Amino acid sequence: MIEAAGAAFVALMDPFRITMLFTGVVMGLVLGILPGIGGLAGTALLLPFTFNMDPYAAMALLLGLGATTATGDPIPAILFGVPGGVGSAATVLDGLPMAKRGEAGRALSAAYMSSLMGGIFGAALLAICIPVLRPIMLHIGSPELLAFAVLGISTVAVLSGNAPLRGLVAGCLGLMIAMVGLSLQTATERWTLETLYLWEGLPLVPIALGVFALPELADLAINRMSIAAGAKQVQTSYESMLQGARDCFDHWWLVLRCSWIGAFLGAVPGLGASIIDWIAYGHALRTEKGAQEHFGKGDVRGVIAAESSNNAKEGGALVPTIAFGVPGSATMAILLGAFMIHGLVPGPDMLGKNLNVTYAMVWSVAIANVLGAGLCYLFSSQFAKVATLRYTLILPSVLGIIFIGAFQGSRQWGDLWVLLLFGVLGWTMKQLKWPRPPLILGVVLGEAVERYLFISIEGFGAGWLTRPVVIVVLAIAALGVIRPFLQDVRIHGGLKKMLTGFGAPNFRLSHLFHLFLLLLLGTMVWDALAWNFSAKIVPLIVGGVGFACCAISLFNDACRAPEAQADIGLEAAALRRVEKKIHMDMDSGTAHLPVRVVVQRAALFFGWLLAFMGSMWVFGLIPTVPIFVVAIMRIEGREPWRLVLAQAAGLTVFVWGLFDRLLSMPWPPTLIGAWIPALKGIIPSI
C-alpha cells in the first residue's frame, strides 16, 4: 500500500495532471461561492472534457472541483448569511454574527483551516479504511440507514435551543413538506394541489435558500446598513487571519471529532451532505464547554465544527463509491460515470490492479484541499472587506445569483415561487424566534425516513428493530430527544410545578403564527385521511404529533403565568443558570426599529423579489439582471451612475458567460418569447 501511494503521488505530479487538479480547484471555489449552484453542476459540466484524458488526470480534475466546493461555501455564509451550499447552512449561525462584530477575517480563516484539516482527515481516512470498511459496509442495509436517519432527526431536540416544542413543530412541518408529491409506495398524489410541478416533491435548494438566505438579506435591507455596521473595527489584517487559523489548532480535538463525524456519515449512502454539518454542530453544542451560552452568538467553535465536518465528507463519500460502486452522494454518482468512461470497475479491482489510481484519488483530495485553502487565504482580506460595503452595493448582485441558484432546483418556474414563499416563512420564523434548523432538517430527512421504513418492514418485518447497529443508534437518538425535556422538568423544579404553573390566557399578535401552523398542519392531516393506508400512515403520525406540539406550545405561551416562571426555587434557579439554553438561530437584528417600519421595509424587500419575477416572466432573466441592479441601486441608495452601470454590466456579463454560454442553462419561458411567434404569424416580415 505504501508503495502504491508513493507511485500514485509521483504520477499525479505530472505537469498536465497537476494543472488539471488546479483547474478543478479554481472551479470548485467559484461554484462554492455562488449560492445554490454547488459542485454537482460543475462535475457534470467537466465530465465530457475527461474523455481524452488518462484516469489520473480525469480524477484529478473532477475531484479537485468536488473536494473544494465546500471550501468556498462558507464565504457567502459568513459574509451575507447566505449558505453557498446546503452543507454550509450551520456555518451561518456563528459565522455571520462574527462578521457583524467585525471578525469576518477570523471567521473566514477558521473556516478555511478547519476545512483544510477536515479534508485532509477525510482523505487519510479513505486511504487507511477502504480495506477495513469494505466488510463493514456490506452489513449496512435499509434498517441501519433508517436508524441513522432517525438519529439525524433526533438532533432536532438540540437544534431547537430554548424552544423544544417549537423545534418539534418545525421539524414535523419539514417532514410533511418532504412528503409532498407522489407516494413512493402507492403513487398517491399527496398535497400536489393538482399541479404537475409538485409531483416530484419540492426541491431542497430553493427551500434552503428561502429559509436561510432571504431572511438575512431582508434584515440587511430593513436595517439599511452594511453587514458590519455595528462593529467598531473590521478585522481584515494578517493578525486576524492568523487568529482564525490558531483557533483551529487550539481546538484540534473538536476538529478531529467533527471530521470523523463528517467522514463517517459521508460514507453512508443516502444521508446526504445536508445534515452532516448540523449533526456535527449539534455534537459540538453538547460537548464543548460553555457552548450553551456562546454558540449562535459568534463563537468560532461553531464555524470550526460545521466546516471541518463539511469538507471531511468528500473523503468518506468516496469509500462506498470505490469499494462497492454505490455513490455516497450525487457528485459521486457522476464520478461513477467517469469510472465507466475510463474502464475502472469499483470493487476488488480498485484495491488490486488499480490501487495506484485509488491512491491518486486520495492524493487528489488531499492536495486539492491544500490548494483551495491557500487560494482562499490569498484573497480573504478582500473578501472580509465586503462586510463594510453599503447594502445597496451588495443586495442586487447577491439576490440575482440567489434567483439563479434557486432555479437549479428543478429548472421550473415553481422553484422561484418556492424560494419566495419559504423566504417569507423563514423571515417570519426568524422574527418570532422560531428555530429554523429543525425545519430544514425535516425536509432533508423526511423522504429517507419513509422510504427506509417501508423497505425495512417489508424486508425484515419487526426483526429490523433487533439488529445490533439499529439498537445502538436508536438508543442514542432516544437519549438525544428525551434529555432536553428532562432538563426542562428539572429547571422548573419538577414535573408538578411545570404542569401547574398556568394562568388566564394572554394572547398576543405573535400567536397568529401558531394559529397559521395549526391550520396548515390540520388541513394537511385532514387531506391525508382519504389516502391509501400506506400513503397516509406516516403523514398522519407526523402531522398529528406536529399539531399536538403546536397546540401545547400555544397553550404554554399564552397561559403560563409570569410568576410560575419566576417562582421556581433557588435550586432550580441555580440549575437554570448552569443549563442555560440558547436560541438556536440568529437574532433578527431589527429589534431597535419600530414594528411598523420593520413590516413596511420587509414588504418593500419582498416586493422587489416579486418585481424581479415579473420582469423575468416578461423579458427573461438575463435582461432582468441589469434592470434589477439599476432599480435597486438608484431607488434604494441613490448610488452614483458610474457604480450602477459598472455593476449592472459586470453582473450581466458574468451571468450570461457562466450560466448561459458555459453551463447552457435552459431559462424559463417568457411572455415576449411567446409573443414573437404569434407576431410572425400576423406579420411575416418580422
492, 568 in Cβ contact below 8 A? yes
- Calculate ∠ Cα 439-96-150, nearest 5°: 25
Return the C-alpha cell found at 360: 491518486
Q: How far apart are the first and last CA of the chain?
A: 69
Read off φ and ψ for residue 502, nearest 5 degrees. -120, 155
Work out the average pLDDT over 489-518: 76
Give the chain's mean pLDDT: 78
User: Which of the pair, 77 or 163, is modelled with greater confidence?
Assistant: 77
165, 552 in Cβ contact below 8 A? yes
106, 243 in Cβ contact below 8 A? yes
Q: Quick one: how far is CA 81 from the chain centroid?
A: 11
CA–CA dist 349, 335 (Å, integer): 16
A 10 A CB-CB count for 238 gives: 10
Q: Which of the residue ranges 33-37, 530-534, 661-665 would you say has the lowest mean pLDDT?
A: 33-37
328, 320 in Cβ contact below 8 A? yes
- The whole-number pLDDT of residue 176 equals 92
Q: How does residue 578 score in pLDDT terms, banded at 50, 70 and 90?
A: very low
- Residues with Cβ within 8 Å of residue 485, at least 6 apart in sequence: 157, 164
Return the C-alpha cell found at 234: 473590521
- pLDDT, tens only, 638-651: 888 988 899 899 88
- pLDDT, tens only, 289-308: 877 777 878 888 888 888 88
Work out the average pLDDT over 262-283: 73
Q: Is the pLDDT of residue 368 over 90?
A: no
Return the C-alpha cell found at 63: 475531484
Q: Which of the residue ranges 193-197, 330-334, 349-353, 581-585 would you say has the lowest mean pLDDT?
A: 581-585
Q: Is the pLDDT of residue 525 over 90?
A: yes
Q: How does residue 420 score in pLDDT terms, banded at 50, 70 and 90?
A: very high
Which amino acid is located at 72 in the chain? G
Please give the C-alpha separations between residue 437 and each of 89, 434, 571, in angstroms, as whole numbers. 9, 9, 32
- pLDDT, tens only, 315-330: 777 777 776 665 656 6
- The whole-number pLDDT of residue 565 equals 44
CA–CA dist 296, 161 (Å, integer): 10
- The whole-number pLDDT of residue 515 equals 93
Q: Is the pLDDT of residue 583 over 80?
A: no
- The whole-number pLDDT of residue 569 equals 45
- Residues with Cβ within 8 Å of residue 554, at least 6 apart in sequence: 511, 514, 515, 518
- The whole-number pLDDT of residue 522 equals 94
Domain residue limits, the chain? 2-224+238-578, 595-682
User: Which of the pair, 225 or 384, is modelled with greater confidence?
Assistant: 225
- pLDDT, tens only, 449-501: 888 888 888 888 878 888 888 888 888 888 877 776 776 677 666 666 666 66
